[in-house]
C-alpha cells in the first residue's frame, strides 16, 4: 500500500507526501514550516513521522520552508549537488559592496594583477562566505544524481532529469511493495525520458500549468509569458492532455494535475482538457483525474 498526498501545489508553494506502510517522504517544502505541519496534520499524518525531505529544484515555491522544517523535524535533505549549491546561493545574503571595493576586487581578480603573477586570487565563491555555512545548516545532506536510484526506508526512488530553468531539476519515480508513483511538475515539455518514467505507474502527478490562450491574453508581461511557454518553462493543459491522449499507457488509477496557474488557468479547464483526451481513448477511462490545490491539502490517494 502506498499513499500520495498533495499538501500544496502551484506557484505559491509545493509539497507532496509519499508514504509506504513504513516510510514517509516529503517532496519539496514550498510553504512555511508552520503551514506545512498544519497541512500534514490536517490529512491525519504526523509531521514527526516524516523520514526525509527530497528536493526537486531550488525555486522558491519548492524550498521556502526547507531549512526550518528540516531542522524542526531533524530529518535529512536529499538534493542533487547543483541544486544544493543553488539553494545555498539563494539563501546567502549578498554582501554590501561599495563601488570602490568592487573596483578593487575587480583589479585583484584581473588576469594581469598589478601585484604580479603570484598575488593570491580573491575568494569569490558564495560558499566561501562564512554566513552561507551558518544560515544553511541542515541536520544532514544527502546527494543523489539524476538517473541513479537510491532508497529511503523501503521506498526505492529513481530521479530523472526534467527540462526546466533551474540548476538541475528532477522528477521522481517512487516504488514500494510493487506499487509505483511518479511526480513531474515544473517542466517545459515532456521529453522521452519523462514519458519513460511515467510508464507502469499506479499514480501519476503531472503538471497542467496553464491554458495557452489564457496565458497569451493574461496579465503576465511578455517576457514572463515567453518564459512560461518556453522549453524550460511550464507544461500547458494541452501538452499534458496530448500525453494522456498519446503515449500514456493508461496504467494509473489516478492522474493528478498539478502546479495549476492561478492567473492563467481554471481548474475546470484543466480537468476538461485532460478528460476529453482520455475519453478519446475509451480504454483509458479507468484513470481518475484529480486536481491538486494550492490552498489546502488534497485527500490522500491510496493504491
Minimum separation from the CB atom of position 61 to Zn ion (A): 4
Q: How far is Cα 184 from Cα 40, in angstroms, rounded to an integer? A: 21
Minimum separation from the CB atom of position 65 to Zn ion (A): 14
Q: Which of 49, 40, 57, 52 is nearest to 152 (CA)?
A: 52
| C-alpha cell belonging to residue 74 | 531533524
Q: What are the residues binding Zn ion (CB under 5 A)?
A: 59, 61, 186
Nearer to Zn ion, 186 or 211 (CB): 186
User: What letter would DSSP give residue 128?
Assistant: G
Nearer to Zn ion, 11 or 287 (CB): 11
Nearer to Zn ion, 20 or 294 (CB): 294
Residue showing the smallest CB distance to Zn ion in the complex: 59
| C-alpha cell belonging to residue 37 | 505541519
Q: How far is Cα 213 from Cα 19, in angstroms, rounded to an integer? A: 37
Nearer to Zn ion, 64 or 202 (CB): 64
Nearer to Zn ion, 232 or 272 (CB): 232
Q: Which of 258, 269, 274 is nearest to 6 (CA)?
A: 258
CB-facing half-sphere around the CA of 113: CA atoms within 13 A = 15
Minimum separation from the CB atom of position 45 to Zn ion (A): 23
Minimum separation from the CB atom of position 91 to Zn ion (A): 17
Q: Which of 254, 258, 242 is nearest to 195 (CA)?
A: 242
Minimum separation from the CB atom of position 122 to Zn ion (A): 33
Q: Which residues pair with 150 in a beta bridge?
A: 157
Minimum separation from the CB atom of position 207 to Zn ion (A): 9
Q: Reading across the β-sheet that carries 203-207, which strands appear in turn?
A: 150-152, 155-161, 170-176, 179-184, 203-207, 254-258, 288-291
Q: How far is Cα 158 from Cα 247, in angstroms, rounded to an integer? A: 20
Nearer to Zn ion, 18 or 292 (CB): 292
Minimum separation from the CB atom of position 225 to Zn ion (A): 16
Residue 280 dihedral angles phi and psi, to the nearest 5°: -70, -20
CA of 105: how far to CAs of 93, 94, 109, in Å?
Answer: 18, 15, 6
User: What letter would DSSP give residue 296?
Assistant: S
Nearer to Zn ion, 260 or 284 (CB): 260
Amino acid at each position: 500500500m502506498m499513499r500520495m498526498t498533495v499538501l500544496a501545489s502551484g506557484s505559491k508553494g509545493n509539497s507532496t507526501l509519499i508514504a509506504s506502510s513504513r516510510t514517509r517522504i516529503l517532496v519539496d517544502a514550498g510553504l512555511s514550516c508552520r503551514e506545512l505541519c498544519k497541512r500534514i496534520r490536517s490529512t491525519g499524518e504526523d509531521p514527526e513521522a516524516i523520514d526525509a525531505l527530497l528536493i526537486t529544484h531550488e525555486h522558491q515555491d519548492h524550498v521556502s520552508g526547507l531549512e526550518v522544517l528540516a531542522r524542526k523535524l531533524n530529518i535529512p535533505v536529499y538534493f542533487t549537488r547543483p541544486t544544493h549549491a543553488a539553494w545555498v546561493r539563494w539563501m546567502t545574503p549578498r554582501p554590501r559592496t561599495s563601488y570602490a571595493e568592487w573596483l578593487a576586487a575587480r583589479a585583484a581578480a584581473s588576469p594581469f594583477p598589478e601585484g604580479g603573477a603570484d598575488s593570491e586570487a580573491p575568494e569569490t565563491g558564495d560558499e566561501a562566505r562564512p554566513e552561507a555555512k551558518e544560515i544553511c545548516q541542515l541536520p544532514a545532506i544527502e546527494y543523489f544524481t539524476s538517473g541513479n536510484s537510491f532508497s529511503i526506508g523501503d521506498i526505492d526512488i529513481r530521479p530523472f532529469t526534467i527540462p526546466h530553468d533551474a540548476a538541475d531539476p528532477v522528477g521522481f519515480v517512487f516504488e514500494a511493495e510493487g506499487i509505483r508513483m511518479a511526480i513531474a511538475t515544473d517542466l517545459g515539455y515532456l521529453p522521452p525520458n519523462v514519458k519513460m518514467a511515467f510508464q507502469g505507474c499506479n499514480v501519476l502527478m503531472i503538471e497542467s500549468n496553464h491554458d495557452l490562450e489564457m496565458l497569451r491574453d493574461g496579465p503576465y508581461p511578455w517576457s514572463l509569458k515567453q518564459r512560461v511557454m518556453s522549453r524550460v518553462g511550464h507544461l500547458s493543459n494541452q501538452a499534458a492532455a496530448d500525453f494522456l491522449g498519446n503515449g500514456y499507457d493508461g496504467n494509473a488509477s489516478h492522474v493528478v494535475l498539478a502546479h495549476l496557474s492561478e492567473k492563467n488557468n481554471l481548474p475546470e479547464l484543466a480537468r476538461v482538457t485532460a478528460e476529453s483526451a482520455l475519453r478519446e481513448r475509451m480504454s483509458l477511462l479507468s484513470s481518475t483525474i484529480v486536481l491538486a490545490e494550492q490552498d489546502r491539502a488534497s485527500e490522500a490517494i491510496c493504491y
